[in-house]
Amino acid sequence: MQMPQGNPLLLSYTLQELLARDSVQVELIPEKKGLFLKHVEYEVSSQRFKSSVYRRYNDFVVFHEMLLHKFPYRMVPALPPKRVLGADREFIEARRRALKRFINLVARHPPFSEDVILKLFLSFSGSDFLPADIQTQFAMSRELIRNIYNSFYKLRDRAERIASRAIDNAADLLIFGKELRQGKQEENDVVEKLNLFLDLLQSYKDLCERHEKGVLHKHQRALHKYSLMRRQMSAAVQSREPESVEQLESRIVEQENAIQTMELRNYFSLYCLHQETQLIHVYLPLTSHILGAFVNSQIQGHKEMSKVWNDLKPKLSCLFAGPHSVLTPPQSPQEDGVCPH
């Protein structure tokens, strides 16, 4: 923030200058939003930032708390009251007007208007990073990665067996004074590369499981608890117990806030999954190198095996050559000219 010229004790702004800083509109979105719990949403449009974002009441609450934390010695306008159970249109409209007053006072406040958190609140939307079909993309990506994992898991097992056989072959061929070095080493390298890729795919599978357990299961439990509270609320209203109704109303509001927080976590989790899926695709070209190395290791291994046997062939041929060959079959007594007695 730039310091005003002149006396720092004097605020050198006119009313017109403050009003010209920004004009923010807050409009109610007719259709309620939410994956699990429907809630009221507002369209917040800033003339200064030429932006239009969607905000919920809880977003205003978080923004308000951040202002209080960052500017404890400044006038932070108060927010309208939280949602009241069974709120009618008049309450919702009154709260919309109060939110509009709040955000305009903040947007025109000299220190607040220059702070990054105001710009983020008025112009940034995390959901902009998520495609509309993010849930469908997640399901398709998970199935694709699962198939890739299964295929390379089988390939890794085969490569390990081939590498094991190569070690056995190398040990057997030591009898002939020959050792298979290069082919055996390349096969071990292929197994290591396969293990690296499988570790990456396994981490993605684990992430998908954490997403489902952390989002779907917890949301289901929270929604079940919310539904139970609503039934208890209906019973309390029918029995005309004002204290029970007030307590349940407070608990229901807290539960709704908790569910809305879970929705934000779900959006962020899906965003991270979207990024991690792209990371997997960045690693996918590694598979062609792995397969190429696997083929080369087999070629090299068989070349070495062929060389070993080709080197042995002339030595074996010498064993059959000449009259004193150890493999020359013995002659019969008749052939030696010795008569039997």
pLDDT along the chain (341 residues), means of 10: 64 89 93 57 94 90 92 93 70 93 96 93 74 77 85 79 66 51 58 83 88 70 69 65 65 70 75 86 82 74 71 69 54 49 45
Quick one: pLDDT at residue 121? 93
Answer yes or no: pTM beyond 0.75. no
Strand order in the sheet with 51-56: 24-28, 41-46, 51-56
Quick one: pLDDT at residue 167? 63
Q: CA 297, CA 193: separation in Å to the nearest integer? A: 13
Q: Which two tokens stand for residue 275?
A: 């990024």
> Which residue carries 């507002």 as its tokens?
42
Q: Which of 301, 195, 224 is nearest to 36 (CA)?
A: 224
Cβ contact 37:147 at 8 Å: no
Considering the four listed CATH numbers 3.30.70.270, 3.30.1520.10, 3.40.50.1110, 1.20.1090.10, the one that applies to the domain covering 15-124 is: 3.30.1520.10
How far from chain centre, in Å, is Cα 274? 6
Residue 50 phi/psi, 5° resolution?
A: 50, 50
Quick one: pLDDT at residue 285? 83
DSSP string for residues in 98-159: HHHHHHHHHHHSHHHHTSHHHHHHHH--GGGGS-TTHHHHHHHHHHHHHHHHHHHHHHHHHH
Structural fold of domain 134-308: Substrate Binding Domain Of Dnak; Chain:A; Domain 2 (1.20.1270)
CA distances for 223 relative to 231, 258, 335, angstroms = 12, 10, 103
- Residue 39 DSSP symbol: B
Q: CA 212, CA 209: separation in Å to the nearest integer? A: 5
DSSP string for residues in 275-325: HHHHHHHHHTHHHHHHHHHHHHHHHHHHHHHHHHHHHHHHHHHHHHSSTT-
Sign of the CA dihedral 120, 121, 123, 128? Answer: positive
Rounded to 5°, angle at Cα 38 from 36 and 42: 130
Quick one: pLDDT at residue 151? 83
24-28 vs 51-56, strand pairing mode? unpaired
Sign of the CA dihedral 160, 162, 163, 167? Answer: positive
Name the residue ranges covered by the structural domains of the chain: 15-124, 134-308
